[in-house]
Amino acid sequence: MKILILTSGGDAPGMNMILATLYKKFGKNLYACRAGFKGLINNDIVPISEFEPMKYAKEAGSCIKCSRCPDFQTTEGFNKGLNNAKCFDAVIVLGGNGSYQGCCELNEKGVRTVFIPATIDNDVLISDYSQGYHTAVKACVSTIENTMPTMDAFDRCCIFEVMGRNCSRIANCVSLNYQCDYVVLKKKDLDYKKMAEIIKNKKELGQGSCILVKERIVKLQTIIRNLQKYNPDIEYRSCTVGYVQRGTNPTFIDLEYARSFAKLAINVLTKTKYSTAIVYKKDDFDIIYRNEEGGMHSLRKKGGQEVVESIIEN
Ligand code: F6P
């Protein structure tokens, strides 16, 4: 069986562990597109061994490279990619919603596909968990924990911005794991008067304060300018947590998820003929497969618990 794999969109901690686990199983039969769908379009495809996946197994990033590839959405780009994909028995796609879309389109044109949700944002519609989310949250909490002591030392206010694109999950989870003084998940949360009051009270107690803001809502400098109007005596600092969320080495939990996602992909490829998505739903792994009529089904529901357990456990 000749299998192709690609990592698409933003990289996610644990992608390398998925690649290494698949390489361990498929060896020279596993090929990789360099930089996601871009590599698929340009036929930039080599045996994955050239990227030394075992060396990077526990590291963040993607050793086979990522890209955002608008060209794959054009008819010309898609058809080029499709022709190259057809040279393989199956294509495994790691990525977020956009990558899933691309994966489904390949599948609709006759390519056998396996999708694995992998994005720090944890916003993949078909899965409750996507690879890398735990590490991203941990990186945010660590950054805040390691910054606040110095803010406290000066009674300063620090505004932290965390990634998550259009999804508040990371910011929300961070706020549950670090007692922030104020959290902005949406534009309507920007109540400067209320924020300023909280910051002032903290300063009066001889403490710094921590404001958490989800990215893509407002510029941090705008927040500072508005708060300064109320509290001109307070010193403000800002910290964009940003790419540390993606570049931090995967947590043990994310390494565990990565091995499970990969193991399930191996099992569905070797034991079934289905095109599938490996998902995590209601606190357990499941496999969503596409039948001949194009319908999507949960293997857990359709085949009963036993079938899915045997695929998951073996
Ligand atoms: O989708 C993952 C993500 O890290 C988002 O949280 C963020 O908005 C975006 O990617 C950043 O993208 P880029 O790497 O293209 O700057």
User: In whole angstroms, how far apart are CA 204 and each of 54, 183, 201, 207, 252?
Assistant: 53, 20, 5, 7, 40
Q: pLDDT value at position 299?
A: 80
Report domain 3-132+250-313's class: alpha beta
CA distance 103 to 179: 40
Residue nearest to atom 3 of ligand 1 (CA): 10
Q: Is the pLDDT of residue 314 over 60?
A: no
Q: pLDDT value at position 308?
A: 63
Kindly list the domain boundaries of the chain, sorted by start residue. Answer: 3-132+250-313, 134-247
Q: Is the pLDDT of residue 298 over 80?
A: yes
In short, whether 227's Cβ falls inside 6 Å of ligand 1 is no
How many residues make up the chain in this entry? Answer: 314
Q: pLDDT value at position 213?
A: 98
**Fold: same for 3-132+250-313 and 134-247:** yes
In short, whether 120's Cβ falls inside 6 Å of ligand 1 is yes
CA distance 310 to 313: 5
More confident residue, 272 or 34: 34
Q: pLDDT value at position 252?
A: 98
Report domain 134-247's class: alpha beta
Whether the CB-CB separation of 248 and 135 falls below 8 Å is answered with yes
Q: pLDDT value at position 15?
A: 98
Residue nearest to atom 6 of ligand 1 (CA): 164
Residue nearest to atom 8 of ligand 1 (CA): 165
CA distance 263 to 266: 5
At 250-270, the pLDDT tens digits run 999 999 999 999 999 999 999
At 139-151, the pLDDT tens digits run 999 999 999 999 9
Burial (0-12, 13-18, 19+ Cβ within 10 Å), 306: exposed
Sequence-separated (6 or more) residues with CB below 8 Å from residue 92:
3, 4, 5, 6, 22, 113, 114, 115, 116, 265
At 53-98, the pLDDT tens digits run 999 999 999 999 999 999 999 999 999 999 999 999 999 999 999 9
At 168-213, the pLDDT tens digits run 999 999 999 999 999 999 999 999 999 999 999 999 999 999 999 9
Sequence-separated (6 or more) residues with CB below 8 Å from residue 313:
none
